[in-house]
Structure 1
Amino acid sequence: MKARTNTFLGAAALAAGALLLSGCSAITGSGEAAAAGPDLPIDDEISTTVDTTLTELLPSAIAEKGRLDIAVDIPFPPMAMYDDSNRAIGFDPELGRLLGQKLGIDVSLNKQAFDSVIPSLQAGKNDIIMSGMNDTPERQETVSFIDYTHGGFAILVPAGNPDGITTQTDLCGMTVSVQKATVQGDLLRATECGSDPVVVTELPSDLDAQTALRAGKSDAYVADAVVAEYVAATTDDGDAFDVVRDPENPAGFNPVYSGIGVLKAETELIDAIQQALQALIDEGTYQQVLERNNIGAYAVDSAEVNQGSDQ
């Protein structure tokens, strides 16, 4: 993360009706399509239903505005990206739509550069952040996190795992590609290998690191677990790479929490989002969105706040 089931259209239409009955504005959406109507799940996206008891938890200012403004850094697959019709998809946009449905309020998914997502809350431009943001003590000085994933770093190898890599120490003596200036590079260099250390190849971008593995210039590639899962599932229809799964580290190496950011003073909104996320966890739609985006292994069991302070 950044240290930085199929549902039919009929279900979405029912949800839209529920939103209208709950008195929500129907003038917002994501991007330039904001005036076209509520931003709801479509086609095979996961859908849910409104819980009016949760709607009552929303702060009056947001209820009066009639929408929840969500800061999303796009693209950052599989957390957020655009489809062929320029619709925001991925874990964050799809979970954001579900939260809106559950709370009975429209959502506006607003593209925001990652380094400006917190200032956008402080300026009143957005209400919450859904952008794969790590829950850290430093960030908790400004925002509180409703944690929604727990994952670390993962090792990607060629399909079939020809070198039989099973854990981090198996990388000793091998060449591993990573994106330049990432924590992964530091962790690999610190691997206890004796006289046969990991040979770390740092490249300008994450895509460059993937390409090095595909071209045989590295034996493995290391990245955030959720990114590695996505790359393995989507490259050559899932036939190019395998993710190394270490039984001792099921959520990846050095796992951290990531979550939905809300200004720490907005206690009512924090409570509303936490309870809405818990409702999605309880009904199973949260897990469906994770699995739809190939990151089902990084689920949280419950919607907790600021677990990053315990890491």
Structure 2
Amino acid sequence: MNTPASTPPKKLIQRGIPAVVAATALLFAATACAPSTATSPSTPSGDSPGSGTGVPALAVNEAAAQLLPDSIKSTKVLRVAIPTNEPPTQFYREGTQEMTGTNPDIARLIGQALGVKVEIQVANFDSIIPGIAAGRYDMTVSSMTPTEKRMEVLDFVDYMQMGTAIAVTTGNPLGIDSEGSLCGKKVGLLTGSYQLTVNVPKTNKACSAAGKEQIQTSEFQDTRQAISALTSGRLDAVLADQPILNFASAQNSQVEVAATYDFAAVGVGLPKDSGLVKSVGAALSAVVTSDSYRTVLGKYGLESSAITDARVNFAQ
């Protein structure tokens, strides 16, 4: 979802945090959505020969590792729920069932800092919180925004920042250039996303107050499905995370980003009262100040998504 530097979005609305830097040199994975049982393990020792993850090595943070719950100390495994088909944040490496992208790579950095193996378990975004509640996953690294409602059931530790973007067909025939111009439009969104649960209700309230029709929403299990609906004329716009839509517009000449706004931190989601928040919080404090973290973000053109403070339970 990164636009090349030579073709910036038509309109950029910033809210206190710089926009994400464009990415132009990523391969686009064309695989379809995988079942939630798929896994993509990584080794705690980092990018060892033949591992293929491309994740730079990071030393174990012994203080953070000592804070791990006994159950994780025993298994030395973290089960991490992540969706797929959303480059550059999460997608299958071309021709493989290996997950890559910023989220899998940051999950692997956390694993290295804690000295444990990371097992990435692919799941639809809207099934992740119920899966954590049922004990199927230990945490999620899925660009999940820490909202007050989500914090009722999960603890969060910030790990990067991103914005919301509006994608339209090239040429923007309907003149969509802001949240307000989505009133009455057919808009595609990821099921369970921040855009669907926070942005749309807020915009709908403004639409109604202005005497306009509310947004006509269509939900999808991954953003690539929504982009396909947009380019086939079934939608007027797609509302999703900025990195994903910027990448899509860079790869697809039929798509452009019309507006970007609402920059905020996203966090690692962890089960309440599991004790993991202490160890993951300490690990991420080391991760976000490391060269390895900046290398991972730079690999996907997201250097300006970096943060330096891994805040715990900071609601957006």
Same fold (TM over 0.5): yes
2:299 corresponds in structure 1 to 292
Structure (1 or 2) with the greater helix fraction:
1
CA RMSD of aligned residues (A): 3.9
Which ranges of structure 1 fall in alignment gaps of 5 or more residues? 1-29, 247-251
- TM-score norm. by structure 2 comes to 0.66
1:5 corresponds in structure 2 to none
**Contact (CA 8 Å) 1:232, 1:243: kept in 2 or not?**
yes
> How is 1:23-102 mapped onto 2 (pairs within 5 angstroms)?
31=38, 40-41=46-47, 42-43=51-52, 45-53=54-62, 54-83=64-93, 84-102=95-113
1:127 corresponds in structure 2 to 138
User: SS in structure 2 opposite 1:145?
Assistant: strand
User: SS in structure 2 opposite 1:282?
Assistant: coil
Letter in 1 for 2:89: M
Once residues 166 and 265 of structure 1 are traced to their aligned partners in structure 2, the CA distance between those partners, rounded to angstroms, is 43
Matching of residue 224 in structure 1 with residue 233 in structure 2: no
2:267 corresponds in structure 1 to 259
**Contact (CA 8 Å) 1:31, 1:108: kept in 2 or not?**
no
1:276 corresponds in structure 2 to 283
Greater Rg over alpha carbons, structure: 1
Letter in 2 for 1:61: S
The total of aligned residue pairs comes to: 268
**Contact (CA 8 Å) 2:184, 2:216: kept in 1 or not?**
no
Once residues 304 and 115 of structure 1 are traced to their aligned partners in structure 2, the CA distance between those partners, rounded to angstroms, is 24
Cα deviation 1:234-278 (Å, max 9, x = unaligned): x23xx44443456xxxxx23x4543112223233x3122112212
Once residues 173 and 226 of structure 1 are traced to their aligned partners in structure 2, the CA distance between those partners, rounded to angstroms, is 24
Moved more, 277-286 or 112-121: 112-121
Given the alignment, which residue of 257, 265, 279 partners 1:243? Answer: 257
Give the drift of 1:306. Answer: 0.9
Give the drift of 1:304. Answer: 0.4
Once residues 236 and 264 of structure 2 are traced to their aligned partners in structure 1, the CA distance between those partners, rounded to angstroms, is 26
Higher relative contact order (CA 8 A, sep 6+): 2
Give the drift of 1:280. Answer: 1.8
- TM-score norm. by structure 1 comes to 0.67
Letter in 1 for 2:105: E
**Contact (CA 8 Å) 1:72, 1:131: kept in 2 or not?**
yes
User: SS in structure 2 opposite 1:223?
Assistant: strand
Letter in 1 for 2:281: Q
Give the drift of 1:37. Answer: 6.5
Letter in 2 for 1:275: A
* % identical aligned pairs: 26
Letter in 2 for 1:178: G
**Contact (CA 8 Å) 1:72, 1:109: kept in 2 or not?**
yes
Give the drift of 1:87. Answer: 0.4
Give the drift of 1:303. Answer: 0.3
| Structure 1 residues 137 and 32: CA distance shift in structure 2, 3 A | closer
